[in-house]
């Protein structure tokens, strides 16, 4: 491993000349403003259209990136100002003549650290081109260049290839590739490593207890495992960008890269580190599932509005299922650790009343207005297509595996889709997706689709886990109130009230702060122990603040809603144990 990165630089003569040339100035971090200059030749029209995307692929929410754009100007080659006007929230028009040389200048305010936005300060600049770079519809399929202007000691990490010799100019074949290529600019270390003879880079911004050698060794195992599942790696070079911060978690997949954000001190404690490995496995798995095997709605992105599909349960849910299995198969952790992760997923699902309300297909379609906009009623009315999709994937995988004695699995669905669509670039329809699932399963699964994808029928988790010698074992639980609290020290502030719960009947609502139980003051740290003193059916007296006014009332404690642990059945048959090991691998023998 080394910090020195050398890329083969394509010569300018070997590439098509750019239709658009961006220059992004990253020299004034204290202002958080990225100054952008776009040079282009006007197409054959007297009005030039310029658009800024409202969203970025992989993150299904209209984020209105144009709200951060300011100081917009346009001039001709001789610096003569040109007339322009804004015609809608993310579109500008310029009066020009066909073939005229133009220069567009503007600034982007960048002070939101996430994998889908922009962050610029004195330590670095990170940006997603969808949130920074205007595009011209006529030139969307034309080549372009991006030149970064940065302080003398800064470097640039991006999956785009260098253009020329300066190391700060990069070339993209079209605007879609630019959008799929994040930039990290700063003094960050860059670690180089290989898998299957192909170069990889890991750029790390931020401080913490990250151990690059340990992490990269595990990342290599994960990459190699995923490559073996699909018969190789579909790129020439891959880039990981990792941000270490005091809060935040997430990732965003790209064609030949991904961006990750993780807690700066989350790499020493075993459970947190496993979470990081699953995040890596998830975003890397998207190389195939959604970046290259994708719903028809994502064949050609519409950057001006929502792109609807009912198949996000497959793109994200199936990926979530495999993101826990792949580190296990890669021997980054064992089957016992995997069952703990699976137990967490099952408990989150079983404690979400919204599973009775929103189907997987509806959750996929409504991602734009629901999943990324959580509120206090979301748990009652919504179902995550990540979470339920993961569990439906588990059931489908077990069904296929057991029917074919592990000679087929859900992976064969992905492999078949890869063969069908990777060459053409076409996307699948929901019917084509399900037809492929049924072809691999070799049976009619219309009832499953109706119940578990289009409907809200409870998933038969206990039944199918039992077929591989596992069971859901309930753990000790408190009497049920239906209250969820915010993670705030001291105060018992309600985050959500579950539908049809004792708390709902008592009139409690999100935002209320409980201050006393049966006349005695109660805080977050002692709520559970106090509640444990009372039996099911007991009526307790609560005192709380609602909108700064004091209220009191009674609440009858309901039957506990236990959390479950997935465990190996003591009476599991040799056949069931064999199926478990064929699914999870050799470490399952120790369960």
Count of alpha carbons within 13 angstroms of residue 17, beta-carbon side: 3
Cα–Cα distance for residue pair 459/473, rounded to 1 Å: 17
How many Cβ atoms sit within 10 Å of the Cβ of residue 370?
21
Best CA proximity match to 185, nearest among 145, 146, 134, 151 = 151
The sign of the dihedral angle between the CA atoms of 146, 152, 154, 157 is positive
Tell me what pLDDT residue 60 has.
97
Phi, psi (rounded to 5 degrees) for 219: -65, -40
Lowest-confidence segment of 2-11, 97-106, 136-145, 186-195 by average pLDDT? 2-11
pLDDT at 25 over 80: yes
CA distance 44 to 472: 66
Angle at 129 between CA 321 and CA 113, to 5 degrees: 65
- In CATH, the number for domain 209-287 is 3.30.2010
Of 425 and 401, the one with more pLDDT: 401
Q: Are 149 and 27 in contact (CB under 8 A)?
A: yes
**Cβ proximity of 104 and 114 under 8 Å:** no
Average pLDDT over residues 174-199: 98
Residues 499-516 have a mean pLDDT of 96
Distances (CA, A) of 244 to 114, 119, 159, 248: 11, 13, 20, 9
Quote the percentage of the chain above a pLDDT of 70.
97
- Cα–Cα dist 278/320, whole Å: 8
- Between 14-28, 168-182, 450-464, 512-526, the lowest mean confidence (pLDDT) is in 14-28
Could you give the CA distance from residue 119 to residue 32 in angstroms, rounded to a whole number?
Answer: 7
Q: Which two tokens stand for residue 477?
A: 């639980």
Half-sphere exposure of 332 (CA within 13 A, CB side): 30
Question: pLDDT tens for residues 466-482?
Answer: 999 999 999 989 999 99
Give the pLDDT of residue 14.
56
H/E/C letters for each residue in 156-183?
EECCCEECCCCCCEEEECCHHHHHCCCE
| Rounded mean pLDDT, 177-194 | 98
Residue from 66, 71, 147, 79 nearest 105 by CA? 71
At residue 288 the predicted structure's pLDDT band, cuts being 50, 70 and 90, is very high
For residue 367, the model assigns a pLDDT of: 97
How many angstroms separate the CA atoms of 5 and 218, rounded? 21
Over 60: is that where the pLDDT of 13 sits? no
Query: Model confidence over 539-552: pLDDT tens digits?
Result: 999 999 999 999 99
Is pLDDT at 1 greater than 50 in this prediction? no
Q: Dig out the tokens for 213 from the structure.
A: 């050698």
Q: Which of 356-360, 455-459, 485-489, 564-568 has the lowest mean pLDDT?
A: 485-489
Cα(497)–Cα(44) distance, rounded to whole angstroms?
Answer: 59
Give the list of residues 6+ apart from residue 541 with CB closer than 8 angstroms, or none.
517, 518, 519, 552, 553, 554
Q: What is the mean pLDDT of residues 294-299?
A: 95
Q: What's the mean pLDDT in 316-333?
A: 98
- To which residue do tokens 């040339």 refer? 21
CA distance linking residue 36 with residue 295, whole number of Å = 33
User: Domain 297-469+563-591 classified CATH 1.10.390.10?
Assistant: yes
pLDDT at residue 8 greater than cutoff 80: no
207-233 in b/e burial notation, b at 16+ Cβ within 10 A? ebebebeebbebbbbbbebbbebbeeb
Residue 31: HSE in the Cβ half-sphere, 13 Å Cα cutoff: 11
**Percentage of the chain with pLDDT > 90?**
94
Is 2.30.42.10 the CATH classification of the domain at 483-556?
A: yes
Tokens representing 430 are 């929901």
Composition of the chain by helix, strand, coil, percent to 5: 35, 25, 40
* Three-class HEC string of 183-212: EEEECCCEEEEEECCEEEEEEEECCCCCCH
Mean of pLDDT values over 205-213: 97
pLDDT over 80 at 10, yes or no:
no
Q: Which pLDDT belongs to residue 264?
A: 97
Average pLDDT, integer, range 157-162: 97
In whole angstroms, what is the distance from residue 493 CA to residue 523 CA? 10
pLDDT of res. 425: 81
> 380, exposed or middle or buried, with CB in 10 Å at 0-12, 13-18, 19+?
buried
pLDDT at res. 247: 85
Residue where the block lists tokens 């119940």: 451
Q: What is the pLDDT of residues 81-97, one digit of tens each?
A: 999 999 999 999 999 99
Task: Grade residue 488 by pLDDT with cuts at 50, 70 and 90.
Answer: confident
The helix-helix angle for 410-421 and 212-230 (nearest 10°) equals: 70
Taking the CA of residue 409 as centre, how many other CA atoms within 13 Å lie in the half-sphere pointing to its CB? 14
CATH number, span 12-187? 2.60.40.3650
| pLDDT for the residue numbered 165 | 85
First to last CA, the chain: 36
> Residue 197 and residue 22: Cα distance in Å, rounded?
33
Does the pLDDT at position 3 exceed 50? no
pTM for this prediction: 0.95
The whole-angstrom separation of Cα 270 and Cα 276 is 10
User: Band of the pLDDT at 421, cuts 50, 70, 90?
Assistant: confident
Domain extents for the chain? 12-187, 209-287, 297-469+563-591, 483-556
Q: How many residues does the chain have?
A: 591
Q: Please state the rounded mean pLDDT for residues 565-570.
A: 96
Give the three-class secondary structure for 220.
helix
Q: Which DSSP string do the residues of 436-469 spell out, in sequence order?
A: HHHHHHTS--HHHIIIIISS-PPP-HHHHHHTTT
Euclidean distance between CA atoms 524 and 544, whole angstroms:
13
Among the listed residues 126, 106, 125, the one whose alpha carbon sits nearest the alpha carbon of residue 116: 126
Where does the pLDDT of residue 12 fall: very low under 50, low under 70, confident under 90, or very high at 90 and above? low
Query: What is the H or E stretch that residue 590 is in?
Result: none
- How far apart (Å, rounded) are the C-alpha atoms in residues 189 and 2? 9
Compute the mean pLDDT over every residue in the chain, rounded to the nearest whole number: 95
């Amino acid at each position: 491993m080394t910090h020195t990165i050398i890329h083969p630089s394509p010569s300018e003569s070997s590439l098509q000349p750019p239709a658009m040339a961006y220059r992004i100035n990253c020299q004034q971090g204290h202002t958080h403003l990225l100054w952008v200059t776009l040079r282009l030749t006007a197409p054959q029209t007297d009005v030039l259209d310029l658009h800024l995307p409202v969203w970025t692929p992989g993150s299904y929410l209209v984020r209105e990136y144009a709200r951060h754009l300011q100081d917009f100007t346009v001039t001709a080659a001789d610096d003569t100002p040109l007339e322009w006007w804004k015609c809608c929230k993310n579109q500008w028009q310029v009066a020009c003549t066909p073939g005229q040389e133009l220069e567009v200048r503007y600034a982007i305010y960048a002070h939101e650290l996430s994998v889908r936005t922009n962050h610029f300060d004195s330590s670095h600049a990170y940006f997603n081109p969808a949130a920074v770079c205007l595009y011209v519809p006529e030139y969307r399929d034309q080549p372009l260049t991006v030149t970064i202007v940065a302080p003398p000691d800064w470097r640039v990490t991006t999956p785009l290839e260098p253009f020329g010799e300066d190391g700060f100019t990069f070339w993209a074949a079209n605007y879609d590739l630019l959008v799929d290529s994040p930039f990290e600019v700063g003094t960050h270390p860059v670690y180089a490593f290989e898998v299957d003879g192909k170069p990889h880079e890991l750029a790390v911004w931020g401080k913490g207890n990250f151990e690059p050698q340990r992490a990269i060794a595990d990342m290599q195992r994960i990459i190699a495992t995923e490559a073996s599942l699909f018969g190789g790696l579909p790129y020439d070079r891959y880039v990981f960008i990792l941000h270490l911060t005091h809060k935040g978690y997430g990732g965003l997949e790209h064609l030949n890269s991904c961006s990750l954000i993780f807690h700066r001190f989350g790499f020493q404690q075993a459970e947190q580190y496993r979470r990081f490995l699953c995040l890596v496995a998830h975003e890397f798995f998207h190389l195939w599932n959604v970046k290259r095997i994708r719903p028809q709605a994502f064949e050609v992105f519409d950057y001006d509005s929502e792109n609807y599909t009912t198949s996000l349960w497959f793109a994200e849910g199936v990926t979530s299922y495999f993101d826990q299995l792949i580190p296990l198969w890669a021997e980054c952790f064992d089957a016992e650790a995997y069952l703990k992760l699976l137990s967490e997923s099952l408990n989150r699902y079983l404690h979400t009343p919204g599973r009775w309300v929103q189907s997987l297909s509806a959750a996929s379609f409504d991602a734009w207005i629901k999943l990324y906009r959580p509120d206090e009623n979301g748990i009652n009315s919504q179902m995550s297509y990540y979470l339920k999709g993961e569990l439906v994937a588990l059931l489908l995988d077990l069904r296929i595996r057991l029917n074919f004695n592990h000679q087929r699995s859900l992976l064969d669905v992905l492999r078949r889709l890869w063969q069908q669509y990777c060459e053409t670039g076409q996307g699948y329809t929901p019917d084509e997706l399900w037809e492929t699932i049924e072809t691999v399963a070799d049976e009619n699964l219309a009832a499953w689709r109706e119940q578990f994808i289009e409907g809200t029928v409870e998933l038969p988790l206990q039944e199918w886990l039992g077929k591989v010698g596992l069971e859901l074992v309930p753990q000790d639980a408190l009497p049920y109130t239906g209250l969820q609290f915010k993670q705030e020290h001291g105060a018992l502030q309600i985050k959500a009230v579950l539908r049809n719960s004792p708390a709902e009947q008592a009139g409690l609502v999100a935002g209320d702060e409980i201050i006393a139980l049966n006349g005695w003051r109660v805080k977050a740290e002692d709520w559970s122990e106090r509640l444990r003193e009372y039996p099911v059916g007991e009526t307790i007296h609560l005192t709380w603040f609602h909108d700064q006014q004091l209220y009191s009332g009674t609440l009858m404690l309901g039957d506990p809603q236990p959390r479950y642990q997935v465990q190996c059945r003591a009476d599991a048959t040799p056949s069931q144990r064999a199926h478990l090991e064929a699914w999870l691998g050799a470490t399952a023998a120790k369960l």
